[in-house]
Each structure stands twice: as C-alpha cells, then as structure tokens.
Amino acid sequence: MVEQTSSKALSWEELTSISTKEEDRFQGPTNPYSTLRLFGQDRKDIRVILYRDHHAWCPYCQKIWLWLEWKRIPYKVKKVTMRCYGSKEPWYLKKVPSGMLPALELDEKLITESDSILIALENTFGSLGSPLEDLNIMKLRNLERKLFQAWCLWLCTPFYSQRQEEAKKKYFQEVAEEMENNLVSIKGSWLDSNSTNEQGFPIPSSADVIFIPYIERMNASLAYYKGFSLRQEHPAINEWLMALEKDEIYRGTQGDFHTHAHDLPPQMGGCWSYPNPQQKLFSHSIDIGEGLGKQETTWAYKEHSTNDMPEQIALTRVLKHRDKLLALNPLGAKNFDQPLRASLTQLITNKTCTPEPGSAFGLRYLRDRISVPRDMPLLSARRMRQVLEETAKIDSMRSGPPIPTKNRLDQNPRPFLESQIRNSK
C-alpha cells in the first residue's frame, strides 16, 4: 500500500470541526474528569464526597472509585495533588494532616484508609457481593496483600545474582497461582459470584475491587522492568482481566503501561530492571508509545461502532487543553504549534504530515507526558503517542527530556488547574 502524505497540517479551526463532544460527565460513562456523579438521582441525595488524586492514578483511590461506580452511589469528587506530582493543597492538609489519599466524607463524617472507607460504605449502602468481613472474602483480602508483597519484593528490591532474581520471580508466581486457583474454582468471571447489578447481571464484587488496582500495575511494571508477561504466564488472571476490560466502568479508570511504568518508581521508592531480550523489547515498545497490544488491553472498538473512535476522543482532549499544552512545551508555543497540528492531522486523517525542523524534542516531550486515564482513555492515548512518535521520526531521532524517576514534578497539575479557574470566572 502506498503511504499517503500531506505537506500541510490542518488548521486549528479545521481540527476543531472534526472533533467530537465529550460525554455527560455527571450521568454518562465512568470518567476521570467528573466532580459529580449522579446515576439518575438528584443532587440532594448525595451523601458522599470522595477525595482522590488529580491524576486518577492512586491505586487506593481507584478501589473506592470503582466501588462507588458499580454500586451506583451518587457522590462528589474533590481532587488533591499526590506529593510526587507537586505540593499538597493547604485546604486538604487542614482536613487530613497526613495528606494521605483517599479520604471520604460520608454524611459529613471524615474517613481515611481505603479498607475502612469500603467497610463504612458497605455498612451504609449494602455490600457489593459478599460482605468484606465474610470469612471467604477475608481470605481473598489477605491473599491480595500477600501478592502485593511478593510483587514489591521482586520489583522494588535490588538483586545480586540471577539466582536471587529467579527466586523472587518464582515466589511471585507461586502467589499468583493462588489467585488463579481461586479464579478457576468460581462460577463466572468474578472472584465472588454473589454480586449483581439492578438488572440481575453479574458484576465485579468487593473482592475483585480489592485486587484490581495492583494487578493492573503488576501487569504493566513486570512487563517493563522484568520482561514478564503476567497475562501469558497466568491464563486465569488473563481471563479475569479480559472480563474486566469488557466493562465500561473499569475502562473508565484503567491506566496504561506507559503511565504505570513511569509513575511507579517515585511512588514505590524505585523499580529494579532485570535486563534481558524480552525486557528490552517490552520497555522500548512502551517507551516509544507503541504499547504492548493485547498484553495491555484486549478491548478494541468494533468496526462501525456507534461510539466515538479513539482518535476522535484524543483529538477532543488535546483541543480542550491546547493553549496550555503549547505554552508548557519546551519548544515554546509558537514553535510547537505546527508540529502538534501535524501530529493531530495524522491522527485524524491517517496521512503523514511533515513537522517543522527541530520539532522531535517537543513531540517526544508530549508523548512521554500523556497520563492515562487522566488525559484520555487507554486506546486514545496509544494512538496519540504513536502519531507523536511517527511525526517526530520525520524530523529526527532526538530524544525528548528524560522522565524523572525520583518524582514526577513534570506532571504537576497546577498550571492546568490555574487555567481552569481562570476559564470558569
């Protein structure tokens, strides 16, 4: 097939005319942007305020977020900066001096620590499947902590020999097999078969909610740092993830491999790579934005779907923050304007578009700072990263500025929050 090329980037006006409208944040699908979720109920019915991170990255916040969404409990959201991204808001430190997330107000009573929050929500609104303090669910909760510890031991502690590395890998897999044994023994897709929605269809339970955040991060980090494919090595976990990825609620909270691989080191105190051919292949594919296909997600938009395509969603999200993205780019707004339009032109027309010389540095800077799900959904981010890299290659192979490993202050949300405040006045 002859590659189509375009010598002229579309204008902002032309790109805007192609973009789509964002879905209803309050009543529509699960999304990281909403500050209010109603599920068809009235604002006066809200009894819950969830305090979670701006980046929609915090694994413990994700647990509470998913529980509220699957239970369809109306709630407000107030967003707080995680320390590795920037300074904690003073108003939040007055409320929660430790600054820890998540926190939740239930009938004006403040609760911290995710498990305590889930138990309080369950006592008020009923359980999501079997109660959290049911004996079988307690065993699963303990298993999740055991798996978390095995993952941390492998990922976040240095190794001094191949033998030591293999021993930590073996221990992790032994614990992962315990989870698989539970998945194999159940009827249906979920760890607890007692959870159904209002129509009587099975949905994930509190037990699943407990496992989701760190299984997601294990899948990403072990691929990037160890060259280990969790989904290939553990088929029952893969089947569980596949079932989750069919669920619109889960997809609204799901991160991608690039975001997790680079946001974990400052959160975990460092992640240790074990160089091998597969690790190098996986990490390179993640770093350049190509992604790891079905290892990352098995969800795909069906042809002729009535939903907006990933490219349209990515375009709409970039246009929403266009001015700030241009201003913050190291090339400067004037020099980055045409290269960004060139990338968006390819994104939406599938025609390669030549950027202005010297643009690779700025294009790869943006490629490496898309955060999922904060900025856009996984598949939209994958396409956006890919076209940024493809456009950058036309210019040169110059790398962008390195991604920090001690913090992610390059992801500080404050400039975007300031622009939102000004725009709302």
CATH label of the domain that carries residue 78: 3.40.30.10
As for how many domains the chain has, the answer is 3
Is residue 300 included in any domain, yes or no?
Answer: no
Residues 324, 275 share a domain: no
Residues 148, 97 share a domain: no
Task: Give the bridge partners for 51, in sequence order.
Answer: 78, 103
371/388 Cα distance (integer angstroms): 14
**Which tokens sit at 347?**
């994104």
Residues 40, 12 share a domain: no
What does the pLDDT read at residue 422?
Answer: 46
Query: Among residues 96, 125, 154, which one ends one of the domains?
Result: 125
Residues 314, 288 share a domain: no
**Which tokens sit at 352?**
């390669």
Which residue's structure tokens are 């902590």? 145
Residues 216, 95 share a domain: no
What does the pLDDT read at residue 306?
Answer: 56
**Which tokens sit at 322?**
């266009």
HSE (side-chain half, CA atoms, 13 Å) at 211: 29
3-class state of residue 144 by DSSP = helix
What does the pLDDT read at residue 296?
Answer: 97
Residues 223, 146 share a domain: yes
Residues 367, 267 share a domain: no
Write the burial class of residue 94 (CB in 10 Å: 0-12 exposed, 13-18 middle, 19+ buried): exposed
What does the pLDDT read at residue 203?
Answer: 95
What does the pLDDT read at residue 237?
Answer: 98
Q: Are 237 and 231 in contact (CB under 8 A)?
A: yes
Residues 208, 179 share a domain: yes
Write the burial class of residue 88 (CB in 10 Å: 0-12 exposed, 13-18 middle, 19+ buried): middle
409/286 Cα distance (integer angstroms): 21
98/83 Cα distance (integer angstroms): 11
Task: Give the bridge partners for 106, in sequence order.
Answer: 48, 109
Quick: pLDDT tens for 335-377: 999 999 999 999 999 999 999 999 999 999 999 999 999 999 9
Which residue's structure tokens are 């669920």? 247
Query: Among residues 74, 92, 125, which one ends one of the domains?
Result: 125
Beta strand pairing call for 75-80 and 109-112: unpaired
Query: Among residues 74, 103, 125, which one ends one of the domains?
Result: 125
Which residue's structure tokens are 């004006």? 108
Q: Are 121 and 74 in contact (CB under 8 A)?
A: no
What does the pLDDT read at residue 5?
Answer: 57
**Which tokens sit at 411?**
């992801």
What b/e readout covers 177-215, taking b as 16+ CB neighbours within 10 angstroms? Answer: eebbebbeeeeebbbbebbeeeeeebbbbbbbbbbbbbb
Residues 247, 152 share a domain: yes
pLDDT in tens, the chain (425 residues): 234 555 699 999 999 999 988 889 999 999 999 999 999 999 999 999 999 999 999 999 999 999 999 999 999 999 999 999 999 999 999 999 999 999 999 999 999 999 999 999 999 999 999 999 999 999 999 999 999 999 999 999 998 899 999 999 999 999 999 999 999 998 889 999 888 888 889 999 999 999 999 999 999 999 999 999 999 999 999 999 999 999 999 999 999 999 999 999 999 999 999 999 999 999 999 999 999 999 999 998 775 455 679 999 999 999 999 999 999 999 999 999 999 999 999 999 999 999 999 999 999 999 999 999 999 999 999 999 999 999 999 999 999 999 999 999 999 999 888 755 444 33
Is residue 303 included in any domain, yes or no?
Answer: no
Beta strand pairing call for 103-106 and 48-53: antiparallel
Domain hosting residue 76, numbered range: 36-125
Residues 398, 363 share a domain: yes
**pTM passes above 0.85:** yes
Is residue 198 included in any domain, yes or no?
Answer: yes
Q: Which amino acid is at 334?
A: K
Residues 278, 337 share a domain: no
Residues 141, 110 share a domain: no
